[in-house]
Amino acid sequence: MKVLYLTNEYPPYVYGGAGVHIEYLSKEVSQLADAEVRCYGDQAAVVGRVKATGYEPLSSYSALPKGLQSVFKTIDRDLQAIGAGTDADVVHCHTWYTHMAGIWAKLNYGIPLIITTHSLEPLRPWKREQLGGGYDFSLWVEKTAIEMADAVIAVSHGTKADVEKLFNVRPERIKVIYNGIDTEEFKKVSTTDCFGRFGIDPARPYLLFVGRITRQKGIIHLVNAIRHLDTDIPVVLCAGAPDTPEIEKEMESGLKAATAGRKNVFWIREMVDRKTLIELYSHAGVFCCPSIYEPFGIINLEAMACETPVVASAVGGIPEVVVDGETGILVSLKQMNGSPFEATEPEVFARDLATQVNRLMKDAGLRRKMEAAGRKRVEETFSWKSIARQTVELYQKLIAEKK
């Protein structure tokens, strides 16, 4: 059996959870089947048993508005990726960027199409800020691909419910398979090599955020929460890759206002390497995930694997990862009419985040219990080997049904 993976993110160009997912899934699946990755970039390598090929757009589409340039470059790459032909038995797409290629693969080559829903476009309306009219295209291509897919993998039961609500997909075609983590790589370390560069004292427990500067990740809510944090708590914001210049400016102005008079807030604006990331997780007192929409949240797994308690919003798939009161604390996020688009009481949410961070930072004994419980949960429930095995079994089922 051969699997063709289509993804926009793949090392060394990874900026989100979907890129982490495909890196490790393809690696583990390659131990059970032949695996090929076609992605966005200039990759041309064999990584272990995985062949990876990147594609760059053939045109700049400079005559189009900036948002549409991104969309047309996506279509360009997809056409190249699937126009190269394939001898795969199944095609597995990750994120809407590759859905057009998946549609072409299913229709032209007659092979089963599997889609993993890392997030859903109807639940990310702020993307219109980034894509303009291209957001209407991303909505259409995602809906079309999901509804014609032979199987849809939801990364949480919460995401499965969203798929059933938003799309015309028979429940038996949706399978929940969690994201995973490499527990040999993500584990607590004692090294502090990165801290001198950032000017952070690793001996003092700090609050850590890791993520992109985007509405979805709720970074602005955390910035607003800083005003309510105990002043002796250092804050490390590992936040880069802003969706738009506008949200980057909002981040800058919000941080300036929230940190007036504080000298212990550190903004790391780069996308750090994995060694640095693991060091930052390992020495944090608390990790905060203030997302307003999160189908799963691999970052919470990464923190728990490095034995760091989590304070997170109780949205999407997060409650399936973070056990409230055991591996971390979940904070309620009130949203208008159940909408995941924004907090209806942002000041209340920011204050509630700060309250729980303050509580944990004052209770070293509770943090130690959560550190151990988090690591144990990750080891027992979120192994990539188990996830790869479940995924391959799904491939085999679909191939057998096709014959």
CA-CA distance, 296 to 302, in Å (whole number)? 12
Which residues of the chain fall short of a pLDDT of 50? 336-337
**DSSP helix/strand/coil, 17:** helix
Distances (CA, A) of 357 to 27, 130, 184, 215, 255: 36, 32, 28, 21, 18
Percent of the chain with pLDDT over 70: 98
pLDDT on residue 336: 46
Does an H or E element contain 135, and which? helix 134-148
Q: Which amino acid is at 66?
A: K
Tell the burial category of 283 from Cβ atoms under 10 Å away from its Cβ (0-12, 13-18, 19+).
buried
2-7/90-94 β-pairing: parallel
pLDDT on residue 124: 86
In angstroms and rounded to an integer, the radius of gyration of the C-alpha atoms of the chain is 21
CA atoms 70, 76, 80, 83: torsion sign: positive
pLDDT on residue 344: 65
Of 346, 222, 382, 192, the C-alpha closest to 287 is: 222
| pLDDT per position as a tens digit, 359-377 | 999 999 999 999 999 999 9
Alpha helices in 167-259 (DSSP H): 195-198, 219-225, 245-258
Q: Two tokens at 310? A: 């989590």
Instruction: Give residue 373's Cα distance to chain centre.
Output: 23
Please confirm whether the linkage preceding 12 is cis (ω < 30° from 0): yes
CA-CA distance, 270 to 288, in Å (whole number)? 18
Tell the burial category of 17 from Cβ atoms under 10 Å away from its Cβ (0-12, 13-18, 19+).
buried
Of 220, 231, 228, 227, the C-alpha closest to 257 is: 227
What CATH number labels 195-381? 3.40.50.2000
pLDDT on residue 342: 59
Q: What is the DSSP letter of 149?
A: -
Residues of the chain with CATH 3.40.50.2000: 2-180+383-402, 195-381
Check: CB of residue 230 under 8 Å from CB of residue 358. Answer: yes
Check: CB of residue 344 under 8 Å from CB of residue 336. Answer: yes
Check: CB of residue 309 under 8 Å from CB of residue 327. Answer: yes
CA-CA distance, 274 to 261, in Å (whole number)? 32
Neighbours of 170 (CB within 10 A): 9
Whether this model's pTM surpasses 0.85: no
For 2-180+383-402, CATH number out of 3.40.50.300, 3.40.50.10490, 3.40.50.1970, 3.40.50.2000 equals 3.40.50.2000
pLDDT on residue 323: 97
Of 55, 45, 46, 50, the C-alpha closest to 8 is: 55
pLDDT on residue 127: 84
CA atoms 270, 73, 110, 48: torsion sign: negative
Of 63, 74, 69, the C-alpha closest to 39 is: 74
Tell the burial category of 184 from Cβ atoms under 10 Å away from its Cβ (0-12, 13-18, 19+).
exposed
